[in-house]
Each structure stands twice: as C-alpha cells, then as structure tokens.
Amino acid sequence: MTIKGLVQPSDEYKLDHELDLIIEGESEFYKIKGEVYDTPAFFNPVMVLNRDLTILFTKLQSVIQQRKIRVFEPLGGIGVRAIRLAKEIPDAVESVTINDLGEVSSNLAAYNINESKTNSIVAQYQREAKALMAELAELRFKYQLIDLDPFGPPVEFLDFLWGIAQRNSIVCVTATDMTALCGVFPESCLRKYGALSNNNYQTHETAARILIASVVRSAARFEKVADPIFTVSSDHYIKIFFKVNDSRGIANEMANKIKRVGSCTKCQKFKFLEIEETFECHEAKIFGPLWSGNLFNQELCNQALEIMKSLNLPSSEKIEKFLLEGKESHNIPYYYALEYIASFLHINTPKFEKIQHLLNKKGFKANKTLFRKQAIRTDASLEELLGIALEVSDI
Ligand SMILES: C[S@@+](CC[C@H](N)C(=O)[O-])C[C@H]1O[C@@H](n2cnc3c(N)ncnc32)[C@H](O)[C@@H]1O
Ligand SMILES: [Zn+2]
C-alpha cells in the first residue's frame, strides 16, 4: 500500500539556497540563511520551547503507554521536531511521520533527515495536510501523539485529526494568531473561532479558552473527547495539549462546558453564564463562547515534571514554571490583576506576597499565574479579595 507524496531522504540539498547549521537541544540540522519570515522554508528558533514541550509530552505518553509510540506532525517544516524526537528520545518513539506542502521545506527536511541519520525512524510526505490526514484515516493509520503546528490559526485542520488519533492519544494544537484570539481583531476571531474575544486583563486566558472550545467542539462532532491537560501561553502563541478518547456521553458533557463569560473591566467580577443568562455590573461585557473547564491535569503535570528531570531540554526552566502552574493552580478559572484592584479601590497596587499571605491564612488558595504579571489566582470570592486588599493597603 503506497501513499502518494512519500519523500525519500536526500544526501544533497538540491535547491539553490545558502544554509546555516543550527544546534537545538541535542540535535543538529540546517536552515536556510536569513531572517525567520524572509526565507522560503520556515524555521523559528523562538519556538524551541514549543518543540521541547512536544519532546516532553511524547516521552510522557510513551511512559504512560509503556511502549514506543507513533508520532505525526502534519505541518513539519524542515523536519526539526522530528529529528529532535528521533535523536533525543529514541527510546520513546517507534516512528515519526512528518509532512509539509512546501517545496523548499520538503527538500530541506529530506536533507536534514539524511544528515541526522534519522531515516529509520522519520518518514516524510509532501502533501496538502488535510488531504493526507483524510487518506491516513481511510487507511486506518493511528498515532499516539499528533502535533499540529500551523502558521496562524489551526482551525481548518482540526476536523481531520480525530480519524487518525488513537484512543488515549495526546493531540497538541498551537495557534499563533494572537491578534484574533486576544481581541485586537475581534471580527477575525468571530469568523475563525465563532467566539467574541476580549483584550482586557483576562486576554491570554480567554484566548486559550476560545482555542480549547474550538478543539473540544471539533472532537465532539466526531464523538471524541478532547480533554485539555496542559495549557501554555508564551511569546506569540498558545499551545494546548489534549488527551483524546472515544465517548459520546463524555463528549456531550464536554460540549456543555462551553459557555459565555460575563466580565466587568472595572471591578473584575466574572461569571460563566448558562444559556440565556445575562450579566450586569459596572462595565459589563460578555465574551465567548469559550471553555469553562480545566486548563490542566494536575497529575499529568506532576508526572511531566518528574520525567523532565531525565531530559536535557534547553527550555526546561521555563517549562518547569508552566508545569508548576498546572500542578498548583488547582484549576481555578481566571485571575485578578492587582493594578485593577488598586484602581477600583483607589489604593496603591497591593503587594502580591502580602495578599497571598492573608488569603492563605484565611484558608484560601492563592497563586501567581504565567498568563499575566502582577495577578493572583485564588478561590476566594472577589468581595473577600477586595477586603484583604484594603487590609494590606498602605493607600
Ligand atoms: C509553523 S510552520 C511549521 C514549523 C515546524 N513545525 C517546526 O517546528 O519548525 C508551518 C508549516 O506548514 C506548512 N503548510 C502550511 N499550510 C499547509 C498545508 N495546507 N498542508 C501542508 N503543509 C502546509 C508550511 O509550509 C510551513 O512549513
Ligand atoms: Zn463590576
């Protein structure tokens, strides 16, 4: 059975570009000389964190499944992620399949795969990603981890994931269209994600929740459950990891967790709203629909923290902070910005540590968040929090 578009590794780069040798993690590969967005084959060094996360969660998945796993990257670029998986965690991967429609990317990936001697693990296609995924699904190919890493929004590819995602697989989805997701261009968000985004103090968590809702809804249409286990907002992108399973019943429950959120930009009151419920406050607005459930699976974040100790990932320090938020945020939705508390109460911006100390003393949870500097995630009510802010205030 042959699938159209299979590319053979190549011992020479056939096109006419100057190349640079790059070292990332424990792997070496070539990129085309030039600035990130000016070259005809995309490679962004800033995405090292994104690639490290894929390596970590691939390893985690192989530990959970107690076997080497099959990985698929439908938008593989010049093959960096696949080479890193094959070189850095060979004990975790049975195969890595990559694909890219671009002529230059594909040529360079073929050369990189050959040079890195990873061709016994990495298979490469040059196809339109949706067409390839539909064909793989028809042929009943299944993967235990799929990494979708597009330019901009992932939405056009989502419906094609579920036919090739094995039961209990991990699917991770990146979005880089932050201007849409963060409410700079709300019409664009409405068109692509069917949701109203916001650009207030909650913007990055709202963006993540809108993206999650898109993935959950797409999976639910195919009677699949896509349960978010880890959420990262960094640099110019959001990346979410989902555990994927089959269950019409649970898919219904997941779809019911997609709600609108009412939010007040003056006092920071917010509420996930039931159908037809309204929301009133000083400066009330309604956003979404978006995901109202958990952003993290605490147990898996903890397991990932342990596994990371055995890996040599360039961004491990940063990843540790994200995983700790996953482990310790207790999945409390949203956070309160300290400067908004200050302006609402007409006091100086309160010190995080002081508020945290008093909240903890009263038995509440209180943590920082990586979604926003100077903000607090707590299970105390807004009234309680405002009272404590006044108590610690030096005006
Ligand atoms: C963000 S880049 C991928 C980067 C890569 N994952 C990495 O870690 O370096 C997106 C890639 O998708 C490819 N692409 C865009 N649309 C595509 C499509 N419909 N089918 C296949 N490839 C596509 C582009 O050529 C580009 O190389
Ligand atoms: Zn209000």
Q: What is the pLDDT of residues 73-110, one digit of tens each?
A: 999 999 999 999 999 999 999 999 999 999 999 999 99
Query: Is 217's C-beta closer than 6 angstroms to any atom of ligand 1?
Result: no
- Residue 255 is encoded by which pair of tokens? 């779809």
Q: Are 56 and 113 in contact (CB under 8 A)?
A: no
Residue-level pLDDT at 268: 97
Beta-carbon contacts of 162 under 8 Å, excluding residues fewer than 6 positions away, are 218, 219, 222, 224, 244
42 lines ligand 1 (CB under 6 A): yes
Q: Is the CB of 150 under 6 A from ligand 1?
A: yes
DSSP one-letter code for 257? T
> What does the DSSP 8-state code read for residue 350?
P
Phi, psi of 258, rounded to the nearest 5 degrees: -90, 115
The tens digit of pLDDT for each residue in 181-229 reads 999 999 999 999 999 999 999 999 999 999 999 999 999 999 999 999 9
- Per residue in 135-187, pLDDT (tens digit) is 999 999 999 999 999 999 999 999 999 999 999 999 999 999 999 999 999 99
Q: What is the pLDDT of residue 270?
A: 97
Joined tokens for residue 264: 């007040």
**Nearest residue to 93 via CA among 81, 84, 85:** 85
The stretch 230-237 carries a mean pLDDT of 96
Q: 280 φ, ψ to 5°?
A: -130, 140
Task: State the distance from the centre of ligand 2 to the C-alpha of 388, rounded, in angstroms.
Answer: 18
- Closest residue to atom 8 of ligand 1, CA basis: 81
Which ligand 1 atom lies nearest to the CA of residue 81? 8
Residue 394 has pLDDT above 80, yes or no: no
Contact 24, 34 (CB under 8 A): no
Averaged pLDDT of the chain: 96
pLDDT digits (tens, 9 = 90+) for 34-47: 888 888 999 999 99
Q: Considering the entire predicted model, what is its pTM?
A: 0.97
Whether 340 lines ligand 1, by a CB cut-off of 6 Å, is no
- Ligand 2 centroid vs 269 CA: distance in angstroms? 6
Distance 53 CA to ligand 1 centre (A): 18
395 falls in which pLDDT band (50, 70, 90)? low
pLDDT of residue 291: 98
Residue 316: closest CA among 62, 57, 61, 52: 52
Instruction: Dump pLDDT digits (tens) for 123-141.
Output: 999 999 999 999 999 999 9
Cβ partners under 8 Å of residue 182, min gap 6? 197, 198, 199, 203, 204, 206, 207
